[in-house]
Structure 1
Amino acid sequence: MKKRFPGLLILAVSLSACSGSDDTSTPSPQPVDSAPAVNAPVTFTGNLIQPGEQAVSRFLKNGLYAQSLAGSDAEVASPSFSFADTNHSVTNTQEAGVDEADRLEYDGEFLYYAAYPAWYEVDNQPYVRVMQRQHDQSFSELTRLPLATELGQINGLYLDDNRLAVINSSFPIMLFADIVGSWGGEKNQVTVSLFNTSSPDSIEQVVQLQMDGWLLGSRRIEKQLYLVTSSALSLEGLIAGAADDETKWRNYNLLQSTDMQSLMPRLAVNGQSRGWIQAEDCLIPEQAGEQDGYSQLLIVTRINMDNPQDISALCMTGQAENLYMSAQNLYLAGTVENQTVLHKVALSEPLSYQASGLVDGTLGWQANPYFRLSEHDNHLRVVSSDYSDGTTHRLNILAQQGQNLALVSQLPNDNQPEAIGKPGEDIYSVRYLDDRAYIVTFERTDPLYILDLSNPLQPMVEGSLELPGFSSYLHPLENNYLLGIGQDVSLQDLPGEDGQVTQTPVREGMKVSLFDINDPAHPIELASIARDNSFTPVEFDHKALSVLKEGDQYRFAMPVEHWQTCDEACTTLWAPGHSLMLVSVDASPGMASLSVDGQLQADDSDGSYHFGGADRSLLQGDNVYYLHGNQLWHAKWTNPDLVSGPY
C-alpha cells in the first residue's frame, strides 16, 4: 500500500518497506520501583521478521535503554562484466548496469563534476561545476550549482538523461555518548539534490531530500537511485552511563512515555520534515526475546529520478559496513565478532527482504571489500578472511533456501585442501568474471589464484602464478586477458628488530601487469610497467580508472601521484607531483601487448597540494581530459605533452 503526502511525497511500504499510520500509540510507564533488566544490545545473526508494533517498539526501546547503562557493550556501526564499446569513457563499475556514484559525469557534450572545498579559499563550500564541450575540444564553464545544504562533503554524482543527482553526507563519526545523548558536532545526515538538466544553461533543482543517518553506500539502475543509510536512535534527556536504580528507572520511564515514532529517523522534502518510516514495519531478528533490543537501523531507500515523488523504503535493525548490489538484489554485510552477517534484499516492487546468512571470517580491509561479493546464477559468492588463529582465507558459496542464505560449498575443503594464500599472506584484490574468481594475496610475493566456480557445489583452484609485487585492482579484458594494477615490490636485505639482516619486502612504486589467463591452470604475466616512488588511486578506488574500448583495443587513463627526495641542498624531503598515465592494451587473441603512450602532466606550480586520490579523467576519441584538484586539463592521446587549460 502507499501513503500519500499532499502535493509531493509517496512513500511505498510493505513487509520490506516502512509504512502505516503516523499515529503510534504511546505506552504508559508502569509504576515500579526499578527498571526491568534487559540484555546487552547485540547484533543477531539469524533471519529477520516483522512481528508488529508492540514487539518492534519493545525491541528498539530495549536497545536504546541498554545503551544508556554503565558498562554496556553496545555495538556501533562503523551481472557479468560488460565489454561494451562506448564513444567516451564512463564510470568504471563493479557490475555492468549497476552505476556507482562518482565525482565526474559526462553525457557526450556536457560535463558535471564536484568541486571540492580548499582550505586556502575564502568561500570553500562544495559545488557542482557544469561545463560544455566546444568545437575545438576544449571545455567552457556554463554555470555552477550551489548546494542548499550545510553538509560539506559531496559523495558523488549520478547522471541519467536529463536528471542529475548530487549526494552529500556528513562524516559517519559517532561516539558512544552521542548514541544516547545529543549529537556531537555535525549531525549525521544524507542529502540528495535532484536537478533537471534538460537545459544545461538554466539548470533547475527539482527536489531536495534530506534523511537522518549516515551513508553506507548508493547505486543506480536506470532511473532508480538506491541509498543505504544507518541510523542510531537517540532520545534527548537520556542520561548516559546510568548506574544507580534511580537513574535507570528515570531513563526507562522516559523511554516508555515517549512516542516510538518520534524516535525514528526523519525525512525532509524541500525542508519540510515528515515521517519517513514507521517503526512497526521495521524488521527485527526472529529469535529476539522480550528482554533483547538493538536500536540501530539499516534503511534501504529507492528514489525514482524521473518522478522523485515515488520513494520507497525498507527498514531493518542491525549494522553493516559493506553494500554490494547486482542487477536483481542488494546485499548488506556486517561484522559480528569474527563472522560476516549477510542480508539479501530483492530490488522488486516493493522492496522485499529475502534472507539472511552467515560466513566465518570478515571481508578484510584491503581496497574495496565489497569486491569480495558476487552474485551469479542465483548463488552468492563471498571471499572471507579469518584472522582468529593465524590467517585463513575462504571462498564461500551460498544459495537462498527459504529465508536462509545457506552455505552450499566452500574452499578449501576435504577434496580441495589447498589454501588460498601462503601463511601470513593477506588478500589484496578479488575479481569475479562469470564462473571464475581471481584472487591476489601478498606478503612477500604476489600469488594470483584462479578459481573455477562453474559447479557451485564443487569449486576448485585451477591455477596460480607467483611474481614480485601485488595487484590491488583487477580489470577483466576480452579474450581471457586480465589487467592488474598495484605495487611493485623488491626483497631487500634490511636489519630487523633483533639487528639481524633479513630479506624484507619493500614497495618500490606502482605497477601495471597484463596477464594471460587463457590457460587457467598456468596463468602468465605477459608484460608489466613499473614507476618508482609513486602510486595510482586506482589501487584503492576503481572509479579513478578511465577506460575506452574499441574491439580488442583498450585505452586506460589512470592518475599517478609521485614523489621524490631532494638532494643535500634541498630542505624539502617530499616533493609530490601529479600526472595522468596513458596506457594502451592490445587484447587480440595470441597477440596481447601493454604499452605506455605518455603522461599528461598537471601544473602544480602554484604550490597548492591536491591529493591525487580525488583525480579523475575522461576519454573521448583522441581527446584526454584530466581533472586534478578543481581544474580540468586537456591534451591529445597522440600528443600528451601538449597540454591546454586549465578550464
Structure 2
Amino acid sequence: MRISRGITVLTLTSLAAWPLGCAWQPPADEASGEDAPSEEAGGQERDGASPELVRADSCEDVAANLKGRLVHAMETRLQANLDEALLAATHSCEQYGEEEEEEEEEEEEEEADATASEYSETNTQVADVDEADFVKNDGGYLYVLADGRFRVLDAWPAAEAHALSSFPIQGTPRRMYVYADTAVIYSSLDESAQPSLGDPWSGGGAVDLDSECTYGYDCEFAGDGRKLQITVLDLADRAKPRLKRELVFNGSYLNSRRIERDVHTAVVFPEFDVSNLSYWPDELPPVGCGLKDHGFTPYEVQELFEEVRLANLKLIEKTPVSGLLPSVRDTRYVKGGGLKVTQGPLSDCDDVYLAQTGDARGFLSLVSFAIGEEAPMAARTIMSRPGAVYGSKDSFYVAVRHERDPNAAWFSELEEGVEQATTIHKFALEPGGAAAEYAASGVVKGRVLNQFAMDERHGALRIATTTGYLPDEKVHSTVSILSEHGNELVELGRVDNLAPTEDIRSVRFRGDIGFVVTFKKTDPLFVLDLSDPGAPSVKGELKIPGFSTYMHLMDEDHLLTMGYDADDQGDFAWFQGIQLQVIDVTDLANPHVLDKEVIGTRGSTSDAATDHLAFTYFKARDLLAVPMTICQGGQGGQYGDLMTFSGLLVYRVTVDGGFVPLGGVPHEEPETPNTYSGKCSNWWTDSNSKVKRSVFMEDWVFSIARDRVNVAHLDDLAHPAASIPLTGH
C-alpha cells in the first residue's frame, strides 16, 4: 500500500497477498475507522470518511485507486457467497432449512407580427439560469422533442399555428436548449453506457420518456444508464434545420444548466466493471444448501473460492487504464459535406479528482461549451456517484445521498447515530465555454429531496435534508448553511430537529428567507430566517391539511403552491385530490392561506405536482396552467372511480381574487362506466397526466402532450382553434 496526496491507494500486489479464503480487510488505519492522513487546512488529520476530493497525480493514481475499489467490491460479493457456501458445507439441507426459518422469523419487519408581445418561458428555479426541457418557446416558434424528432412549430399567430419542420435525432431525444439560432439537444442512445456490477441505474431495455426522476422523494437522481448524445442544430432557417455537431459520451445525462451562451452538462459514468469476473467456483454445484451432502469440506470450499479470487484479481490487473476514463466522440459537420472527428478522454488523468468515500467507484464529468464556438468541449471530472443538481450563475452543485455501511468508514463530522448523509460537491463556473473548476466538498446529515432543497446566497449554500424514514418517531429535518473554506464546505449554522416525526415534501428559498413544507398528517409550512448564516431560526409556522410538493414564488410576499389535500386518520392521513393554494407570507411570523382550490379526488394526478417544468405561471397576465387528470368518486383510501377530465386546466390567479377557473383544454374523452380504462390509480409521487407542458402567448395557451399540441384561446378553451400532431415526419 502507498499513500498519495491523502488518498489510500491499494496496489494489486498487496491485494494478491491476502490470506487464503479471507475477504479483503482494510489497512489498519481504515479498519479502525480512520483514514490515512490528508492535506487539510492547518495540516489537521481527520478520522473517518471525508467528503473532499483530492486531485490525482497521474494515470497510475487513477487506475490504482479505482481498481482498488473494484477489488474491494469484488471481494465483498465473493465473501458473501463464501459465507453461504461454508454454511452449506457444515450443514445438511435439513439442518440448513431449520436455521433459515429461524432467521426469517427474526427478519419479518422575430418580426412584430410573427412574435407574441408576451409569452411564458421555461419555469426555472433561478432567474437567468436556463434548464433543459423537451419544450422551448421564443414567442414566435414552439420547439418540441417528440416521436424521435426535433420539431419546429410556427406558433404565431396562434390561431394559425402549424408544423414547420422536423429533424430526426439519433436515439431518444429527451431535453434541449434553444438559444438564438442554435438548438442543443440531449438524447439517450439505444446502446447502454458501460454497465456496472449490481448497479441499479445502469438499466436496460427501451428508454421511458416519463421515467426520469424529477421530484426525488422515492427515486434517485442517477441518469438512465444509456449513452448520451448531444446534437447541435443550426436554426438560421427554421424551415430547414442543419446538423452542425454531434457528441457521444460513454456516460449518461444527469442534468444541465445554460447561462447565456454557456452550457454546462453533468454526465454520469457507471462504475467501471471488469467482464468475466466469477463469484462461484465451477467445481461447486449451484445449490443453496447441502454441500456437505456432496462431500465438500469447509477447507475445500475455502480453497476453491480463493482460486476464484486470485483469478479475478488477474483480470482486474490486466484491465487497461484507458477503459476507465470518461470519453467523448466529437463530430463536426462542415458545409459541403465534410466531417471533422475527434475522440478521446474528457479529462487527463492528472486533472481528475478522486473521492475518499468508499461508495464512489465511478466518475461524474461537468462538461462545458459555448454555443456558437467551434472549440473542443472542456470538462472537469470527479470520482462521485450521481445526485441532485443545483445551479446558480456562478456555481454548480451535485448533492449525493449516502446510507451508512457498517463495514465502511463514516463521516466523522456527523453526530453519533446518523445513518443518512448528503455530500455536496461544488464547481465554480467559468465563462466562454471554459472548464469549470472543482471548488470544494462538504457533508450534512440526512438526505436531500431535490434541487429546490438547495440555494446559494452571497456565496453560501443553504440545504434542507431529512434524517430517518417515516413512520420512525426519530424522523426530523435540518436546514444547514455551508460556506467554502479552502476545499471544504464548512457549516456556519443550522436549524435542526425541524418537524419531528415528519419528512420534507417541498422547499423554496427567497433571499434571506426559507420555506420548508413537511408532512405526516398536516402540512406545516415553516418560515425560516436565514439572514444570519451563523444563527438561522424558525420565524413562523402554518399548519393546514395536506402538503405541497412544489412552491412557486408568486411575488415578494406570496407563495403559489401545488400538492395534495389530505384526510386525517389520526396516526396518519390519506392523500386526496390535487390542491392549489395562495399563501400570504407578508408577515413572516404569521403566514396564512388566502385561497385554496382542490381538484378531483384520490387518484387525480398532474405532472406539475412532481415536475416544476410542467407548472406554468404567466405572471404578466396572472395566468396559471397545470396539466391535469381529474378523477371523481374516491374518498379516504379509495381511489376515484372514473376519469372525468384529461387535459390542461387554466386559472386566473391574483392575490385579491384567488383562483378563478377559466376552463380546460381537453386531450382525452372522459371515461364512462362503459369505457373505464383504469386511469385513476395514481400514487402521489408518480405523476401520470396526459398533458406534460404548456405555453402562454398573450391570450392563447398551447397544451402539449407527447402526441399532440392543442392551441386554444382563453375565451374558448374547450374548443381548440388548432391541433397539431407530433407523430410522423
| TM-score bucket (shorter structure) | 0.7 to 0.9
The reply to whether residue 160 of structure 1 matches residue 179 of structure 2 is yes
Deviates more, 1:577-586 or 1:92-101: 577-586
Name the CA shift for 1:627/1:522 in 2 (closer, same or farther; >3 Å). same
- Residue number in structure 1 paired with 2:75: 69
**Given residue 439 of structure 2, which amino acid in structure 1 is its aligned partner?**
Q
Name the CA shift for 1:245/1:455 in 2 (closer, same or farther; >3 Å). same
**Given residue 344 of structure 1, which amino acid in structure 2 is its aligned partner?**
K
Matching residue within 609, 616, 621 for 2:693: 616
Rounded to whole Å, the distance in 1 between the matches of 2:376 and 2:342 is 17
- The Cα of 1:456 is off from its aligned counterpart by 1.1
**Given residue 234 of structure 1, which amino acid in structure 2 is its aligned partner?**
F
Rounded to whole Å, the distance in 1 between the matches of 2:328 and 2:261 is 21
- Residue number in structure 2 paired with 1:120: none
Rounded to whole Å, the distance in 2 between the matches of 1:179 and 1:219 is 26
Counting only pairs closer than 5 Å after superposition, residues 274-313 of structure 1 correspond to structure 2 as 274-285=344-355, 295-313=361-379
8 A contact 2:558–2:586 mirrored in 1: yes
**Given residue 598 of structure 1, which amino acid in structure 2 is its aligned partner?**
G
Matching residue within 269, 274, 278 for 1:231: 269
Deviates more, 1:248-257 or 1:530-539: 248-257
Deviates more, 1:608-617 or 1:273-282: 608-617
Rounded to whole Å, the distance in 2 between the matches of 1:268 and 1:473 is 38
Matching residue within 706, 710, 714 for 1:629: 706
The reply to whether residue 93 of structure 1 matches residue 93 of structure 2 is no
SS of residue paired to 2:311: helix
8 A contact 2:647–2:691 mirrored in 1: no
| Aligned pairs, number | 564
- The Cα of 1:183 is off from its aligned counterpart by 8.9
Identity across aligned pairs (percent)? 24
- The Cα of 1:522 is off from its aligned counterpart by 0.7
Rounded to whole Å, the distance in 1 between the matches of 2:131 and 2:267 is 16
Rounded to whole Å, the distance in 2 between the matches of 1:249 and 1:129 is 55
- Residue number in structure 1 paired with 2:645: 577
- Residue number in structure 2 paired with 1:262: 323
- Residue number in structure 2 paired with 1:143: 165
SS of residue paired to 2:232: strand
Name the CA shift for 1:70/1:379 in 2 (closer, same or farther; >3 Å). closer
- Residue number in structure 1 paired with 2:467: 386
- Residue number in structure 2 paired with 1:453: 530
SS of residue paired to 2:64: helix
- Residue number in structure 2 paired with 1:370: 451
- Residue number in structure 2 paired with 1:11: none
- The Cα of 1:639 is off from its aligned counterpart by 2.7
The structure whose residues are more often helix, as a share, is 2
- Residue number in structure 1 paired with 2:445: 360
SS of residue paired to 1:458: coil
- The Cα of 1:482 is off from its aligned counterpart by 1.1
- Residue number in structure 1 paired with 2:247: 209
Rounded to whole Å, the distance in 1 between the matches of 2:509 and 2:274 is 47
Q: Deviations over 1:374-420 (max 9, x none)?
A: 100111001111107620101101111111100110113xxxxxx42
Rounded to whole Å, the distance in 2 between the matches of 1:387 and 1:205 is 49
Counting only pairs closer than 5 Å after superposition, residues 380-459 of structure 1 correspond to structure 2 as 380-387=461-468, 390-412=474-496, 419-421=497-499, 423-459=500-536
SS of residue paired to 1:93: coil
Name the CA shift for 1:354/1:91 in 2 (closer, same or farther; >3 Å). same
**Given residue 543 of structure 1, which amino acid in structure 2 is its aligned partner?**
L
Matching residue within 304, 309, 331 for 1:248: 309
- Structure with higher Rg: it is 2
SS of residue paired to 2:159: coil
8 A contact 1:490–1:506 mirrored in 2: yes
8 A contact 2:117–2:698 mirrored in 1: no
- Residue number in structure 2 paired with 1:122: none
- Residue number in structure 2 paired with 1:512: 580
- The Cα of 1:254 is off from its aligned counterpart by 3.3
The reply to whether residue 344 of structure 1 matches residue 409 of structure 2 is no
Counting only pairs closer than 5 Å after superposition, residues 24-103 of structure 1 correspond to structure 2 as 34=17, 39=26, 44-53=49-58, 54-71=60-77, 87-103=118-134
**Given residue 387 of structure 1, which amino acid in structure 2 is its aligned partner?**
G
**Given residue 167 of structure 1, which amino acid in structure 2 is its aligned partner?**
Y
- Residue number in structure 2 paired with 1:131: 153
The reply to whether residue 536 of structure 1 matches residue 606 of structure 2 is yes
- The Cα of 1:115 is off from its aligned counterpart by 1.2
The reply to whether residue 108 of structure 1 matches residue 139 of structure 2 is yes
Rounded to whole Å, the distance in 2 between the matches of 1:241 and 1:308 is 48
Rounded to whole Å, the distance in 2 between the matches of 1:464 and 1:33 is 60
Name the CA shift for 1:644/1:480 in 2 (closer, same or farther; >3 Å). same
SS of residue paired to 1:490: strand
Rounded to whole Å, the distance in 2 between the matches of 1:32 and 1:530 is 62
> RCO higher in 1 or 2 (8 Å CA, sep ≥ 6)?
1
Name the CA shift for 1:342/1:135 in 2 (closer, same or farther; >3 Å). closer
Deviates more, 1:192-201 or 1:56-65: 56-65
- The Cα of 1:467 is off from its aligned counterpart by 1.3
- Residue number in structure 1 paired with 2:386: 320
Normalization by structure 2: what TM-score? 0.71
Counting only pairs closer than 5 Å after superposition, residues 9-28 of structure 1 correspond to structure 2 as none
8 A contact 1:509–1:531 mirrored in 2: yes
SS of residue paired to 1:331: strand
Which structure 1 residue ranges, 5 or more long, are not aligned?
1-27, 75-84, 117-125, 413-418, 493-501, 567-571
- The Cα of 1:486 is off from its aligned counterpart by 1.0
- The Cα of 1:646 is off from its aligned counterpart by 1.6
**Given residue 148 of structure 1, which amino acid in structure 2 is its aligned partner?**
Q
- The Cα of 1:555 is off from its aligned counterpart by 1.1
- The Cα of 1:135 is off from its aligned counterpart by 3.8
- The Cα of 1:215 is off from its aligned counterpart by 2.2
- The Cα of 1:595 is off from its aligned counterpart by 2.0
Deviates more, 1:527-536 or 1:35-44: 35-44
Name the CA shift for 1:322/1:503 in 2 (closer, same or farther; >3 Å). closer
- The Cα of 1:66 is off from its aligned counterpart by 2.6
Q: Deviations over 1:562-586 (max 9, x none)?
A: 12469xxxxx954463121112222
- The Cα of 1:99 is off from its aligned counterpart by 1.0
Rounded to whole Å, the distance in 1 between the matches of 2:15 and 2:123 is 60
- The Cα of 1:253 is off from its aligned counterpart by 2.8
- Residue number in structure 2 paired with 1:78: none
**Given residue 392 of structure 1, which amino acid in structure 2 is its aligned partner?**
H
Name the CA shift for 1:611/1:427 in 2 (closer, same or farther; >3 Å). closer
Deviates more, 1:440-449 or 1:43-52: 43-52
8 A contact 2:600–2:632 mirrored in 1: no
Name the CA shift for 1:166/1:614 in 2 (closer, same or farther; >3 Å). farther
Name the CA shift for 1:59/1:504 in 2 (closer, same or farther; >3 Å). closer
Rounded to whole Å, the distance in 1 between the matches of 2:485 and 2:151 is 48
Name the CA shift for 1:463/1:38 in 2 (closer, same or farther; >3 Å). same
- The Cα of 1:604 is off from its aligned counterpart by 3.9
Rounded to whole Å, the distance in 2 between the matches of 1:435 and 1:252 is 54
8 A contact 1:233–1:264 mirrored in 2: no
Matching residue within 652, 656, 661 for 1:596: 661
Rounded to whole Å, the distance in 1 between the matches of 2:501 and 2:346 is 47
- The Cα of 1:51 is off from its aligned counterpart by 3.3
SS of residue paired to 2:372: coil
Normalization by structure 1: what TM-score? 0.79
**Given residue 243 of structure 2, which amino acid in structure 1 is its aligned partner?**
Q
Name the CA shift for 1:490/1:51 in 2 (closer, same or farther; >3 Å). closer
SS of residue paired to 1:68: helix
Rounded to whole Å, the distance in 2 between the matches of 1:217 and 1:602 is 30
- The Cα of 1:334 is off from its aligned counterpart by 0.9
Deviates more, 1:440-449 or 1:127-136: 127-136
8 A contact 2:445–2:467 mirrored in 1: yes
Rounded to whole Å, the distance in 1 between the matches of 2:368 and 2:25 is 35
- The Cα of 1:178 is off from its aligned counterpart by 6.0
8 A contact 1:66–1:72 mirrored in 2: no
Which structure 2 residue ranges, 5 or more long, are not aligned?
1-10, 36-47, 81-115, 207-224, 281-303, 332-340, 404-419, 635-639, 680-686, 725-729
Rounded to whole Å, the distance in 2 between the matches of 1:383 and 1:331 is 14
Rounded to whole Å, the distance in 1 between the matches of 2:706 and 2:16 is 62
